[in-house]
Amino acid sequence: MSEQVSVGHRLRDWNGVIGAAIERGLRWTATAVLLAMVTLSCCDIVARYVLNSPIRGAFELTEVFLAILVFVSLPLAVRHDSHIRIDFGRALWGGKIDPLVVGVADLISAAVLTGLGYQLWEHAQKLQKYGQVTNSLEIPLSAVAYAAACLCGLSAVFAFGRLLSKGAHKPL
C-alpha cells in the first residue's frame, strides 16, 4: 500500500512540476504568436498603404501562425478544462458520482486526442512526401503538421494527467 502511495505521489509530482514548466512554455509561445500576428498584419497594412509594397508572404505567415496558435492552445485548454461541457448530467446522477463520470469522459477525450494526433502525424508524412510548401515563402507544411501532431499528443498526455491529479483529492 505504501509503495502504491509513493508511486502515485511521484507520478503526480511529475505531472505537477513538469506540467507546470511545459505550461509556462506554452503560455509564452501562445502570447508571442498572438503578438506576432498583430504586428505582422499592422506592419503589412502600413507597408501596403504608406510604402506601397505589402510584406511578402504576410498572408501565408498568418495562416501558419494561426495553426500554431490553435495547436499550442489545445494542451493549455485541456489542462485548464476550458473545453465546453454540458452540465445537466450532474443533476441526473448527483455530485457524488459526477467526478467518476467526468473521469471517464476525460479518458475518452484523451483517446480522441491520441487518435487525432496519430492522424495528424500521418497527414504530416503525406505532406512531407509530396513536398508541400506555402506559395511564396516556401514554408514546409509538413513541419507545421508534425508540430500540430506532437501538440495534440501533448494534449492527450495532459488529459491523462488530469486523471492523475484528480486522484490527488481522494485518499488512496
Partner 1 sequence: MIASLLGFLSLFVLVTLRIPIGFAMIIVGAGGFGILRGWSASLTLAGNASFDTVLSFTLSVIPLFVLMGNLLTLSGVSQSLFTTAHRALYRLKGGLAMATIVACGGFSAVCGSSLATAATMSKVAMPSMRKVGYADDLATGSIAAGGTLGILIPPSVILIVYGLITEVNIGHLFLAGILPGLVGVGFYLAAVAVVVRLRPGSAPDDDGDFETSRSDLWGVIAVLALFSTIMIGIYGGFFTPSEAAAVGAGFAFCIAYFCGVLTIEKILEVGLSTALTTAMIFLLVIGAEIFSNFISFAGLPDEILTWVTELDASPYVVMLVIALIYVILGTVLESLSMILLTVPIFFPVVLSLDFGTGVLSDPDMVAIWFGIVVVVVTEISLISPPIGLNVFVLRTVLPDVSISTIFRGVLPFWMADLLRLLLLLSVPQITLFFLL
Closer of 45 and 137 to partner 1 (Cβ): 45
Mark residues 84-123: x for contact with partner 1 by CB under 8 A, - for none: xxxxxxx-x-----x--xx-xx--xx--xx-xx--xx-xx
Q: What is the nearest approach in angstroms of partner 1 to the Cβ of residue 144?
A: 7
Among 77, 131, 138, 172, binds partner 1 (CB under 8 A): 77
> What residues from 153 to 172 belong to the interface with partner 1 (CB under 8 A)?
none
Q: What is the nearest approach in angstroms of partner 1 to the Cβ of residue 171?
A: 23
Closer of 15 and 57 to partner 1 (Cβ): 57
Binding of partner 1 at residue 74 (CB under 8 A)? yes
What 3 state SS string does the chain have? CHHHHHHHHHHHHHHHHHHHHHHHHHHHHHHHHHHHHHHHHHHHHHHHHCCCCCCCCHHHHHHHHHHHHHHHHHHHHHHCCCCCCCCHHHHHHHHHHHHHHHHHHHHHHHHHHHHHHHHHHHHHHHHHHHCCECCCCCCEHHHHHHHHHHHHHHHHHHHHHHHHHHHCCCCC
Binding of partner 1 at residue 50 (CB under 8 A)? no
Q: What is the nearest approach in angstroms of partner 1 to the Cβ of residue 172?
A: 24
Among 5, 17, 18, 42, binds partner 1 (CB under 8 A): 42
Q: What are phi and psi of 47, to 5 degrees?
A: -60, -35
